[in-house]
Amino acid sequence: MARYIFQRIGYMAVTLLIIITITFFLMQLLPGTPFNNPEKLTDQQLELLNEKYGLDRPLIFQYFTYVGNLLKGDLGTSFQFSGRSVTEIIFERIGPSALIGGQAVFFGAIVGFFLGIISALRHNTIFDYGSVTIAVLGMSIPSFVFGALLQYYIGVKWGILPAALWKSYEYSILPSIALSVMVIATVARFIRSEMLEVLGQDYVVTARAKGISEFVVITFHVVRNALIPVITVLGPLAVSIMTGTLVIEKIFAVPGLGEQFTLSILVNDYSVILGITLFYSALFILIVFVVDILYGIIDPRISLGGGKRDAA
């Protein structure tokens, strides 16, 4: 197991290096320079700036400098906000993103979980059709449509919650709900189909034949086995939502990481683009890793790392 974990960490490092390399060189293809209005700067000023940030040196040299600094834990400084480190920017912006994303995943997973279970247990009834409809709508209608509807009715017309901006906790509720729709739909759909499959398994009949209560049969024999594939989708989904979603953050004017990322791309803020990309990737790879470990815990048939296998 320990060997497996070290191996995986090694692979993770290689993956990250590849991502950095590709992003670093792709970024150079973006038109323009990191400096605003370069046409207003004199050649001498430009030269000074380029020299200050090391942009005058060969690209390959810049690349190795960046990787070297990275190994020391330094993500560089922003071009846009002079003097502020990329790490600082990420940590300042991740807060709101993680809060609305986290709430959306938590709320969405719970609602989706129960919706999916009810739907499977009441297969082909009005409950089932109802939740399938919700799931299909949630999957097919983009979250900004729900966002706009929530803002209009709850925020403006009824004035229950603030429609936008980021001042106190209340401001996080509407964007969280808008984001959770997709989570609800995804989780409900997966749980439903997995439950239906597991309900048809022989071991569920065996469990019932033991005379244990239906609640125990559903909880310990059906739901547990239905959960395994759901974890696979929920992990990466949680990462992509919690690291900030561009559209929802824009609509609700949330100062999150997603918004910052778009902004940085627009102004060619190289170090911030690289930093955020790296952050996303690292988090994603880490979650996939955690999901794999969880798999081994939930499903005893999966043994990690080709370690000692019990013979059948």
Interface residues with another protein (CB under 8 A)? Answer: 123-124, 201-203, 205-214, 216, 220-221, 224-225, 228, 298-301, 310-312
Residue closer to another protein, measured from CB, 102 or 305? 305
Collapsed DSSP state (helix, strand, coil) of residue 56: coil
Residue closer to another protein, measured from CB, 74 or 197? 197
Q: What element of type H or E holds 130? A: helix 126-140
Residue closer to another protein, measured from CB, 234 or 248? 234
Residue closer to another protein, measured from CB, 58 or 200? 200
Residue closer to another protein, measured from CB, 228 or 267? 228
Q: How far is the CB of 204 from another protein (least distance, A)?
A: 8
Residue closer to another protein, measured from CB, 208 or 250? 208
Q: How far is the CB of 188 from another protein (least distance, A)?
A: 21
Q: Following CA atoms 305, 22, 34, 71 in sequence, which dihedral angle do they give, to the nearest 10 degrees? A: 40
DSSP secondary structure code for residue 39 in this structure: G
Please state, in angstroms and as integers, the Cα–Cα distance from residue 98 to each residue in 71, 101, 199, 239, 271, following that order. 26, 5, 36, 9, 22
Q: How far is the CB of 106 from another protein (least distance, A)?
A: 25
Collapsed DSSP state (helix, strand, coil) of residue 260: helix
Q: How far is the CB of 306 from another protein (least distance, A)?
A: 16
Residue 174: is it exposed, middle or buried by C-beta count within 10 angstroms (0-12/13-18/19+)?
buried
Q: How far is the CB of 127 from another protein (least distance, A)?
A: 13
Q: How far is the CB of 218 from another protein (least distance, A)?
A: 13
Collapsed DSSP state (helix, strand, coil) of residue 163: coil
Please state, in angstroms and as integers, the Cα–Cα distance from residue 244 to each residue in 37, 100, 212, following that order. 29, 8, 45
